[in-house]
């Protein structure tokens, strides 16, 4: 079944607004991100990208959580831009690769997915990167660059060309997001910068 192009383009526009506003640390990024993800639940299910459909549901939940977290300006736990520790980064990579293998194998064996390992990898590492974004860990942008490059190929192989193009744009916007957050660190706008310990 062919995906309605108007539906796909609507999701693309909402997703672009999300990344742009996230780079600006604007809390409303989560509203647009949540709406775009809700549409992508349907799109990915129709494309037999079942893990990615589940991932989009996770995005919707995180969007609600993060909007509340970023909106509470009086809360002392409002996240500031942080750097992840090397040991935590290594742990996340190991967990991500192991989970990708397990889900990829399951998808290939029991769901007959032709792109099960790609779908699983994009899903698993996107879960990790989204959590890092909500916590404002600056390394989330590097992870998104890698994820978006793989996702662009995956969607292209499913003939979702507009969405593939979106992920190429996401790669560029992730570079911009990193630059914006790094600039805030360098100029002292984020004076509470510290290595994330939790």
pLDDT score, position 119: 86
Phi, psi angle pair for 195, to nearest 5°: -70, 130
pLDDT tens profile 72-97 = 655 555 568 888 999 999 999 999 99
Residue 196 lies in a domain: no
Residue 33 lies in a domain: yes
Token pair listed for 182: 């790094």
Residue 30 lies in a domain: yes
pLDDT score, position 198: 37
Rounded Cα distance, 167 and 173, in Å? 9
Residue 135 lies in a domain: yes
pLDDT score, position 192: 44
Domain that holds residue 172: 5-72+81-191
- What is the tally of structural domains in the chain? 1
Residue 197 lies in a domain: no
Residue 96 lies in a domain: yes
One digit per residue, the tens of pLDDT, for the chain of length 198 reads 455 778 888 998 998 999 899 888 888 999 999 999 999 999 888 887 788 888 899 889 989 988 888 776 555 555 688 889 999 999 999 999 999 999 999 988 887 777 788 889 998 999 999 889 888 899 999 999 999 999 999 889 888 888 899 899 989 999 999 998 898 888 766 554 444 433
DSSP state of 82: B
pLDDT score, position 194: 43
- CA separation (Å) from 141 to 47, 50, 67, 70? 27, 25, 19, 18
pLDDT score, position 130: 87
Token pair listed for 127: 């879960």
Contact 182, 138 (CB under 8 A): yes
Residue 198 lies in a domain: no
């Amino acid at each position: 079944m062919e995906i309605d192009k108007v539906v796909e383009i609507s999701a693309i526009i909402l997703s672009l607004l999300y990344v742009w506003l996230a780079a600006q640390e604007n809390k409303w990024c989560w509203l647009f991100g949540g709406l775009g993800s809700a549409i992508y639940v349907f799109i990915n299910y129709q494309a037999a990208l079942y893990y990615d459909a589940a991932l989009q549901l996770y995005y919707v939940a995180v969007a609600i959580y993060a909007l509340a977290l970023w909106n509470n300006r009086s809360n002392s736990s409002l996240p500031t831009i942080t750097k992840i520790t090397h040991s935590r980064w290594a742990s996340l990579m190991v967990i991500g690769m192991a989970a990708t293998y397990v889900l990829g194998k399951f998808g290939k064996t029991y769901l007959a997915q032709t792109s099960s390992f790609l779908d699983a990898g994009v899903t698993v590492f996107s879960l990790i990167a989204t959590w890092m974004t909500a916590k404002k860990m600056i390394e989330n942008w590097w992870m998104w660059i890698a994820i978006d490059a793989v996702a662009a190929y995956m969607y292209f192989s499913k003939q979702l060309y507009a969405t593939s193009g979106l992920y190429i744009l996401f790669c560029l916007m992730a570079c911009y997001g990193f630059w914006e957050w790094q600039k805030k660190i360098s100029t002292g706008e984020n004076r509470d910068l510290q290595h994330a310990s939790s």
